[in-house]
């Protein structure tokens, strides 16, 4: 479209020879060049070569031939004006009048009049050409740019709107205000943008780069909007033109940077707080050792120094993981890689408590641990140790040096730390987790703040209550704790996996096939997800009476999505809303646990993000309604990840599940070493 860079001030004169009187009549007018051509064909060729032609003067042709010449020129440029000089007859006038932008003048027209008509035609053509170009540019922006551009009238109703991804259909919103379009989904945002539209129209004042927030579908979105008055030729405001840009990523990045600055400040506070006790122990024991030469005092110095080193490592790892969570890809790439051989940590809870108590507890204080010796918690030691240390330290600090501290399990997949001190007044329980809150003269107010933050980062819940002794009881619930084990159970009766069906509206039907020659199962399944209220997958199963155990190696998963999943499941029924437990693997996010703990509840999931090669074997077992999920690298050494009590009846459904995470496409899983059997407890 280079012709837009040239002013259309040249005129092509067709016919009458090189010395045409029509050509000479144009001298001194708006035309800057006059080009003579002997035929319409030659004129059309000139139009293809030159970008500065703004009018054609066609001379000497009779009526119908003149009209035909106009049509041929208009075919080359539909907006180019043509002035016809011929004998004015009714038929000629009618024929030329049928062709748009063609004007008929008598051959005897005066040079002055001819010049005026051509000058007007040149001006009209330039205006028409620019208007058409502007319209085309606008149409391209609206339809192709994926930029949210819109125009609204003086009542804030949409006149034109770009067709952008995830936006409404422009035809559906035409003639509607934001209140009418968005009130059901984002009513507060709809009201605010509508009021802003009216302000721009009524005041005539533009709004530049205004940040707007709206929440939709559980997510927060931000846009940056500029709105300017839309004025007519007389300068009167007839509406507005706006451009909105999604700046959600910019806002999230700013929030990440703010959180990282806060993290640095908190890390310094945490280190100072958590090193205080072992430093005091080390200082006091060193002084005693120097005075008495007591070897036990030297041992306490060594233990305290070792605990200080562990504290620094724990808090550094905690800070690193907090920095990883929710950051942009650029920040994440700047962080050091984790050990590629990293596996899921499941330390024994009781041993962790006693290890921390060795340094935290006062000499006069008593610790009672009511946790089964084999009970484990699925959490990295560097995550759980700072939490335990601050819970135990708080108990000693607030209940006195001769306090009795009790640690046990809750009935909500968690544990508690309770003391026999004065307790926490009920009206202060919401405040004690706030940073800086303390009742001690030399306290920092960091203890329960650290506990609260560690719990929140791991998806655990913190609850405060009175202990049986009248003191404080702090509960950490919704953890992944395994208390009871079936290590001594023996297989009793095998469970045949003989039925399969698609659960929920999976979009595409699944299938299951056993390959006898290699003792493998091939299970195919679709479905959007197994999460929240969505339970769509294909299930190969057998009926069993607990206690029951199912284990298998997931040999391969042909995935169609990063969250495609397959694994082992025990359900209370085949209905979509039946309670169940699940353990298996995802395509790109490692091992996944899934629980639906009641028919009217929601499915909760967690992915562990461990390296792909960490585990291939999976196990799920049910005893007295308690379902335990485990993983293994080789099928011999098993790591139990979680245990939940589910409302099962006497019969359960145990089997293999596949969900593609795509309602229109299958994923295919290959299992081997599949064994399912009812257990005989010893």
As a whole number of angstroms, the distance between CA 510 and CA 658 comes to 9
What is this structure's pTM? 0.56
Nearest alpha carbon to residue 622 among 540, 682, 542, 545: 545
Q: Residue 38 region, left (φ>0) first, then alpha (ψ -120 to 50), else beta?
A: alpha
Mean pLDDT of the chain: 82
Nearest alpha carbon to residue 172 among 180, 191, 142: 180
Identify whether the C-beta of residue 367 lies closer than 8 Å to the C-beta of residue 334.
no
625 against 339, higher pLDDT: 625
Banded model confidence at residue 435, pLDDT cuts 50, 70, 90: very low
Banded model confidence at residue 546, pLDDT cuts 50, 70, 90: very high
As a whole number of angstroms, the distance between CA 205 and CA 621 comes to 68
Model pLDDT, residue 676: 96
pLDDT digits (tens, 9 = 90+) for 494-519: 999 999 999 999 889 999 999 999 89
pLDDT digits (tens, 9 = 90+) for 158-217: 888 877 766 778 888 889 898 888 777 778 888 888 898 999 889 999 988 888 777 766
Backbone angles phi, psi at 260, to 5 degrees: -70, -40
569 against 393, higher pLDDT: 569
Nearest alpha carbon to residue 289 among 301, 278, 306: 301
Nearest alpha carbon to residue 646 among 606, 589, 604, 596: 596
As a whole number of angstroms, the distance between CA 222 and CA 212 comes to 6
Distances in Å between the Cα of 264 and the Cα atoms of 316, 319, 322, 445, 463 are 10, 8, 11, 18, 27
Residue 420 sits at the vertex; the CA angle it makes with 416 and 421, to the nearest 5 degrees, is: 110
pLDDT > 80? residue 669: yes
pLDDT > 90? residue 540: yes
Find the mean pLDDT for residues 325-334: 46
Residue 330: Cβ-neighbour burial (10 angstroms; 0-12, 13-18, 19+): exposed
pLDDT > 90? residue 297: no
Contacts for 397 with CB less than 8 Å, ≥ 6 apart: 440, 443, 447
Provide the 10 A C-beta neighbour count for residue 186.
Answer: 19
Place of tokens 């593609």: 660
Nearest alpha carbon to residue 36 among 56, 63, 62: 56
Residue 339 sits at the vertex; the CA angle it makes with 338 and 340, to the nearest 5 degrees, is: 105
558 three-state secondary structure: strand
Model pLDDT, residue 337: 47
**How many CA atoms lie less than 13 Å away from 306 in the CB half-sphere?**
10
301 against 661, higher pLDDT: 661
- Which of the listed ranges 265-274, 408-417, 423-432 does the model predict with the highest average pLDDT? 408-417
Find the mean pLDDT for residues 379-401: 85
Side by side, which strands form the sheet with 499-503? 499-503, 537-544, 652-659, 565-571, 580-586, 591-596, 604-607
Identify whether the C-beta of residue 497 lies closer than 8 Å to the C-beta of residue 674.
yes
Banded model confidence at residue 326, pLDDT cuts 50, 70, 90: very low
443 against 313, higher pLDDT: 313
pLDDT > 70? residue 325: no
Model pLDDT, residue 608: 92
Banded model confidence at residue 230, pLDDT cuts 50, 70, 90: confident
pLDDT > 80? residue 318: no
As a whole number of angstroms, the distance between CA 645 and CA 625 comes to 5
Place of tokens 């309602």: 663
Model pLDDT, residue 329: 47
As a whole number of angstroms, the distance between CA 51 and CA 80 comes to 12
Share of the chain above pLDDT 90, in %: 37
Model pLDDT, residue 581: 97
Q: What is the DSSP string of 220-235?
A: EEEEEEEEEEEE-TTS
As a whole number of angstroms, the distance between CA 599 and CA 149 comes to 46
Model pLDDT, residue 61: 72
Model pLDDT, residue 100: 79
Domains parsed from the chain with CATH numbers = 2-142 (3.40.50.2300), 146-246 (3.30.450.20), 265-482 (3.30.565.10), 490-680 (2.60.120.200)
Model pLDDT, residue 333: 45
Find the mean pLDDT for residues 222-239: 87
Identify whether the C-beta of residue 472 lies closer than 8 Å to the C-beta of residue 419.
yes
Model pLDDT, residue 585: 96
Banded model confidence at residue 615, pLDDT cuts 50, 70, 90: very high
pLDDT digits (tens, 9 = 90+) for 352-368: 999 888 877 677 899 99
459 three-state secondary structure: coil
pLDDT digits (tens, 9 = 90+) for 82-120: 988 877 677 667 777 777 788 888 888 888 898 899 999
Find the mean pLDDT for residues 223-228: 86
pLDDT > 90? residue 675: yes
Find the mean pLDDT for residues 122-135: 81
Find the mean pLDDT for residues 218-243: 84
As a whole number of angstroms, the distance between CA 615 and CA 269 comes to 38
313 against 526, higher pLDDT: 526
pLDDT > 70? residue 320: no
């Amino acid at each position: 479209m280079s012709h837009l860079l040239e002013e259309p001030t040249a005129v092509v004169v067709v016919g009458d020879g090189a010395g045409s009187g029509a050509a000479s009549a144009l001298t001194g007018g708006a035309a800057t060049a006059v080009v003579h051509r002997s035929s319409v064909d030659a004129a059309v060729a000139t139009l293809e070569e030159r970008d500065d032609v703004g009018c054609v003067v066609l001379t000497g042709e009779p009526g119908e031939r003149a009209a035909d010449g106009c049509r041929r020129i208009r075919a080359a440029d539909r907006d180019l004006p043509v002035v016809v000089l011929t004998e004015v007859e009714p038929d000629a006038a009618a024929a030329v009048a049928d062709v748009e932008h063609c004007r008929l003048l008598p051959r005897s027209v005066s040079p002055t009049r001819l010049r005026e008509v051509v000058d007007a035609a040149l001006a009209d053509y330039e205006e028409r050409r620019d208007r058409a170009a502007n319209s085309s540019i606008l149409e391209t922006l609206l339809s192709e740019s994926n930029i949210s551009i819109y125009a609204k009238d003086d009542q804030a109703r949409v006149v034109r709107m770009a067709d952008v991804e995830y936006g409404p259909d422009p035809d559906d919103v035409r003639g509607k205000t934001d209140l009418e379009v968005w009130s059901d989904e984002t009513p507060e945002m709809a009201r605010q943008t509508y009021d802003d539209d009216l302000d721009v129209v009524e005041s005539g004042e533009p709004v530049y780069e205004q940040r707007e927030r709206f929440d939709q579908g559980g997510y927060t979105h931000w846009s940056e909007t500029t709105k300017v008055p839309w004025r007519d030729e007389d300068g009167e405001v007839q509406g507005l033109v706006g451009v909105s840009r999604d700046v959600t990523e910019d806002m999230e990045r700013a929030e990440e940077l703010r959180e990282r600055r806060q993290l640095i400040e908190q890390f310094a506070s945490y280190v100072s707080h958590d090193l205080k006790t072992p430093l005091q122990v080390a200082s006091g024991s060193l002084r005693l050792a120097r005075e008495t030469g007591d070897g036990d005092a030297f041992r306490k110095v060594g233990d305290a120094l070792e605990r200080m080193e562990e504290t620094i490592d724990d808090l550094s790892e905690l800070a690193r993981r907090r920095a990883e969570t929710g950051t942009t890809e650029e920040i994440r790439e700047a962080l050091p890689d984790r050990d590629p051989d990293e596996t899921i940590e499941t330390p024994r809870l009781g041993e962790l408590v006693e290890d921390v108590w060795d340094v935290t507890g006062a000499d006069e204080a008593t610790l009672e641990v009511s946790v089964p010796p084999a009970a484990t918690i699925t959490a990295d030691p560097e995550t759980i140790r700072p939490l335990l240390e601050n819970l135990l330290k708080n108990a000693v600090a607030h209940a006195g040096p001769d306090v009795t501290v009790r640690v046990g399990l809750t009935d909500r997949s968690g544990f508690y730390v309770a003391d026999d001190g004065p307790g926490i007044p009920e009206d202060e329980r919401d405040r004690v987790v706030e940073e800086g809150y303390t009742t001690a003269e030399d306290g920092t107010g960091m203890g329960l703040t650290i506990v609260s933050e560690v719990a929140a980062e791991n998806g655990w819940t913190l609850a405060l209550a009175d202990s049986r002794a009248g003191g404080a009881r702090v509960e950490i619930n919704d953890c992944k704790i395994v208390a009871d084990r079936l290590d001594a159970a023996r297989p009793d009766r095998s469970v045949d996996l003989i039925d399969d069906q698609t659960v929920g509206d999976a979009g595409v039907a699944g299938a299951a096939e056993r390959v006898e020659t290699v003792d493998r199962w091939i299970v195919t399944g679709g479905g959007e997800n197994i999460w929240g209220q969505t339970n769509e997958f294909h299930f190969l199963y057998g009926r069993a009476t607990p206690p029951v155990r199912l284990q298998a190696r997931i040999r391969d998963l042909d995935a169609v999505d990063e969250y495609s999943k397959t694994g082992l499941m025990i359900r209370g029924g085949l209905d979509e809303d039946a309670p169940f437990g699940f353990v298996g693997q995802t395509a790109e996010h490692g091992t996944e646990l899934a629980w639906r703990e009641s028919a009217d509840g929601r499915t909760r999931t967690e992915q562990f993000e461990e390296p792909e090669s960490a585990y291939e074997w999976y196990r799920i077992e049910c005893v007295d309604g308690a379902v335990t999920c485990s993983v293994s690298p080789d099928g011999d050494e098993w790591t139990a990840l979680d245990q939940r009590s589910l409302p099962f009846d006497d019969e359960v459904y145990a089997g293999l599940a596949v969900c593609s995470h795509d309602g229109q496409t299958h994923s295919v899983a290959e299992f081997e070493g599949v064994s399912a059997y009812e257990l005989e407890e010893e």
